[in-house]
Amino acid sequence: MKNSTRRRILVLLAVVTILWILPTGLTGQESLIPQHRLGPAPALDVLADSELPASPAPAARQPIAASMFAIRPVEAPSQRNGQTHRFWDRENSTLFAVSAGWSTADFFVTRSNLANGGRELNPVARLFAGSDAGLATNFALETAGVIGISYIFHKTGHHRLERATSVVNISASAGAVGFGLAHH
């Protein structure tokens, strides 16, 4: 494969990953950070004139815009009835699928490099690099480990770390794929 083709594949994989992980931030939908960690989101409701609170003395009055709106905290969906989000929610499912996809890409790039005389740089993966089945087992166990660690963080209430585990694994696998394609 030519270097320009490798670079195009690497750029394409990076763009696909970014567009896969970050659409929530780009479209204004749910954030990767769970709402219960950010605190309740305020809701702005317009009050009728009869519902306006009594104004204090004229010197301490609030601006007109502040008296027109009342800020009422809205309970985040993940906090209703004292429950947290489900482990297999849409965000985790997406993160695990992307993580598995990058691990699969890493497997194929590593396998190709090893077949062409390269060597495995990861000391843990090097133990499994003797055969294709061993290498596939390594990457499958890596993905299962990410899900397991995320589950432990979920059960202990560390929901940011739960999501970050997948993001770190995706970054590491994407970096490994990029390095492997660049040094093929």
- Rounded distance between C-alpha atoms, residue 137 and residue 131, angstroms: 10
| Predicted local confidence at residue 50, as pLDDT | 55
Counting every residue, how long is the chain? 184
DSSP H or E run through 83? none
List pLDDT tens digits, range 88-134.
999 999 999 999 999 999 999 999 999 999 999 889 889 988 899 99
Across 77-84, average pLDDT: 49
- Rounded distance between C-alpha atoms, residue 33 and residue 37, angstroms: 7
pLDDT at residue 7 tops 80:
no
Residue 72 and residue 45 in contact, taking contact as beta carbons nearer than 8 Å? yes
**Among 34-38, 46-50, 73-77, 116-120, where is mean pLDDT lowest?**
73-77
- Rounded distance between C-alpha atoms, residue 25 and residue 1, angstroms: 35
| Predicted local confidence at residue 25, as pLDDT | 41
pLDDT at residue 58 tops 70:
no
pLDDT at residue 2 tops 90:
no
In order, the DSSP letters of 35-93 are HHHH-PEEEEEEPPGGGPPPP--GGGPPPHHHHHEEEEEE--GGGGGG----TTSHHHH
Round the average pLDDT of the chain to a whole number and report it.
Answer: 75
pLDDT at residue 46 tops 90:
no
C-beta atoms surrounding 105 within 10 Å:
21
List pLDDT tens digits, range 133-152.
999 999 999 999 999 999 99
Residue 50, φ and ψ in degrees, nearest 5: -75, -20
Domain ranges of the chain: 3-34+83-182, 41-74
Residue 142 and residue 107 in contact, taking contact as beta carbons nearer than 8 Å? no
